[in-house]
Amino acid sequence: MTDLLLEFSHYAARTGTRWDEALIHRYRVPRDWLQALTAPARYGVARARLDRDGSWVPTAEGTTVLVLPACPLAALDDPIWPSADVGDLVAFDPRDPERWWTRLGCPLLNEEAQARAALCREPLVVHPTPLAWMQAAGAGVVVLDWSRPLSVWMAGPPSLIAPTLDLAERLDRALNRPPPRARIELPAHVIKRNVA
């Protein structure tokens, strides 16, 4: 099995001042969040093959992408540091932020924010893209996989805050879509007993 934390650490080591400055100046990611003294690695840089099914695989010949841990790493002054579970790795190109890929198919970026909002009964901000999430200093979540039953993944927070009308309408449609029904089956021996 792939050690995603180790893999992410390799991608994080490829970042530097040039990448930070581009994110800060060109893409409006807050400097104080990106470069906080107690901040863990916020992102990494990889080369990847980006597949049509929404997944990505690292490869030396691939497209250069930013990589985010689906479960952001804890800050050095956080009681849960060191955090070892990145959950999944989300890849995207900041020049085309509307498209992203995951290694394992994780449904949410920053699922912990959803759990906290549910527990503390706080509103939850839902961002349209991973880049928008970075621009918001890592607050809130991003729905990574809209094919999943969103009512399962977003249960709990008293309200969802969408920064755009398009995203609000998409959330509304996804949350009001009926969940898939389970097929109910009986073992053959039960059917035989009840038919006889």
Q: How do the domains of the chain map onto residue ranges?
A: 4-195
The mean predicted confidence, pLDDT, of the chain is 89
pLDDT of res. 1 = 46
Per-residue confidence (pLDDT) for residue 154, from 0 to 100 = 86
| Residue 186 CA to its chain's centroid (Å) | 38
Average pLDDT (38-44) is 79
Mean pLDDT of 45-56: 96
Over the stretch 132-144, which tens digit does the pLDDT of each residue have?
A: 999 999 999 999 9
Name the pairing type of β-strands 56-58 and 44-50. antiparallel
- The string of pLDDT tens digits covering residues 91-105 is 999 999 999 999 999
Of 41-45, 48-52, 108-112, minimum mean pLDDT range = 41-45
